[in-house]
Every structure is written in C-alpha cells, then in structure tokens.
C-alpha cells in the first residue's frame, strides 16, 4: 500500500501540489491497511480509519483523502474498491466575514504604532502589514512571504499562491510610495533581510506570532468579539475586495509618517 501512496504523491506533486497534510494522512492510512494485511483499498477499512478522528470535519477530510487515492489507483487496478463520496455527510459552513470600516482600519494602524515591543521597528512593521492587507487583498501568507525584490514598479509579484501560481498585484501610487517609505525607514534603522516583513533578527514574521499580536491590536483598538469569535486578520482581504477602487490604497497609506512620530514621542 505504501508504494501506491508514493506513486500517487509523486504524480500530484509533479503537477505542482505540495500535499504535506495529504502525505501525512495517506501514510497513516497505508500503515493502518498494512496492519490488516490489505494490499488494496477497501471501503470498510477507509471508514474505520477515518472514524478514528475526533470531529466530523476531520473524519470527512481523512475519508475524502482516501477517496481521491482510490480513484487514482482504480484506473490501473479495479481491485481497489470504489468509495462513495461524502460518507460522513459533512457540510462545511463558512462564517460571515467581518468587513472592516475605514475608521476601524485606522484604529488598528494606530494601535499597531503604539504596540509595546522590545524591537522599536516592530510597531511600524505591523502598521504597514495591516495597511497592505487592507489595500491589496493579499492573503496573510502571501504578505509574510513577500520579498523586497517582489516590489516592482508594476505592482507586487506574488509567487506560489494558494493554487501554486504566480500573479502580479497592481498597486496604487500612494501604496507603492507607502511601502517605499517603510523600506527606507527600515534601512535607516539598519535592518536588512530579503523579506519585507521581518522580526528583529531579519527572519520573516511567523504567522503564529502575527496572529497573537493581531488579537492584541484588536483589543487595544476597542474591537469586541461576536459571540466567541473575534475579527480575523485574514478578513482584511475581504474588506479590500468589497471596495474595488484605487482610492482604497490612497486612504490606507495617507500620511504614512504621521503615526511613526506619534509612537516615538
């Protein structure tokens, strides 16, 4: 079974998929099937293995992962059983995103510039990150992977996106000027590194840390959770998409140096 899994992963990775979680799940399933001395995928085994997960969503993910493997293997070996789709009856529901008002974004920027930190440049880093996400609709992962060399006169070069493609994100002149001002100040502070958003050691910001800091900024800016859910940093991109006009960037990057002087004083 493990040989079949390796073949499947190799073919899909050749098509550009990363499959890190898929590899983990399929190796686990292969070991489970091997313990039962099974060389082919059987419906009962797939269900038993998927049922080991705690939640319905996790069981669904595990089961559908094996379904795709079975479809691939049945093309050459019909002894692999055909698995019925969505056996666990799971239906994903999406939470309603928080659409940030312009004054809410400015409150987050102000909170970022007042962020207590042992690194004097981190407040400006987080303020610029928030501005960029709101102005462009980038995914947080794309922003954190952004290199200085990816900033071009024509826009931001976003490499290896969610679907393993590269795209160019146009920037309003004011947004481009705001990024330039941020990088110029970073150089004045003696900060190097290839990544646009980095910690004091020059390494790219980690999402786990950004998530924690953003929750702090929400509280400092006066946000409240809806039920038990706080607004998310990822939802800043929904805000940008809700107002598809060049003035977004102009508003977000207005007077980029104003908050810097307020934070230092």
Q: In this structure, are residues 142 and 158 in contact, taking their beta carbons and an 8 Å threshold?
A: yes
Cβ 126 vs Cβ 217: under 8 Å: yes
pLDDT at position 162 is 65
**Predicted pLDDT of residue 167:** 87
Copy the structure tokens of residue 109.
Answer: 């920027």
The helix or strand, by DSSP H or E, that contains position 164, with its residue range, turns out to be: none
| pLDDT in the model for residue 163 | 65
Q: How far is CA 147 from CA 46, 68, 121, 141, 234, in A?
A: 43, 35, 18, 12, 20
* Closest among 67, 132, 131, 140 to 104, alpha carbons compared: 131
What the chain holds in terms of domains, given with CATH numbers, is 2-74 (no CATH), 102-264 (1.10.443.10)
pTM comes to 0.63
φ, ψ of residue 110 in degrees (nearest 5): -65, -45
What pLDDT is recorded for position 248?
Answer: 41
Report the candidate in 136, 142, 144 with the shortest Cα–Cα distance to residue 105.
136
* Structure confidence at residue 173 (pLDDT): 85
pLDDT by residue for the chain (265 residues), tens only, comes to: 999 999 999 999 998 888 889 999 999 999 999 999 999 999 999 999 999 999 999 999 999 999 999 999 999 999 999 999 889 998 887 778 889 998 999 999 999 999 988 888 999 999 999 999 998 889 999 999 999 999 998 889 988 766 667 888 988 888 888 899 999 999 888 887 899 999 888 889 999 999 999 999 999 999 999 888 899 999 998 765 544 433 344 334 433 333 333 332 2
């Amino acid at each position: 079974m493990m040989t079949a899994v390796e073949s499947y992963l190799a073919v899909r990775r050749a098509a550009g998929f990363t499959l890190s979680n898929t590899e983990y799940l399929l190796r686990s399933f292969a070991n489970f099937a091997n313990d039962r001395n099974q060389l082919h995928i059987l419906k009962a085994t797939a269900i038993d293995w998927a049922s080991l997960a705690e939640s319905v969503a996790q069981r669904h993910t595990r089961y559908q992962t094996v379904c795709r493997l079975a479809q691939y293997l049945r093309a050459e070996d019909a002894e692999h059983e055909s698995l019925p789709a969505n056996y666990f009856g799971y239906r994903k529901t999406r939470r309603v995103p928080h659409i940030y008002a312009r004054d809410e974004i400015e409150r987050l920027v102000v909170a970022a510039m007042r962020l207590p930190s042992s690194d004097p440049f981190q407040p400006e880093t987080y303020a610029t990150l928030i501005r960029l996400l709101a102005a462009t609709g980038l995914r947080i992962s794309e922003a954190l992977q952004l290199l200085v060399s990816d900033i071009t006169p024509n826009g931001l070069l976003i490499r290896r996106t969610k679907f393993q493609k590269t795209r160019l994100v146009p920037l309003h002149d004011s947004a481009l000027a705001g990024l330039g001002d941020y990088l110029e100040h970073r150089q004045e502070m003696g900060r190097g590194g290839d990544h646009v958003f980095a910690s004091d050691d020059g390494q790219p910001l980690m999402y786990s840390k950004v998530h924690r800091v953003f929750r702090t900024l929400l509280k400092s800016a006066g946000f409240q959770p809806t039920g038990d859910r706080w607004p998310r940093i990822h939802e800043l991109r929904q805000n940008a998409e809700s107002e598809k006009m060049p003035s977004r960037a102009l508003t977000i990057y207005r007077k980029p140096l104003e908050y810097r002087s307020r934070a230092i004083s």
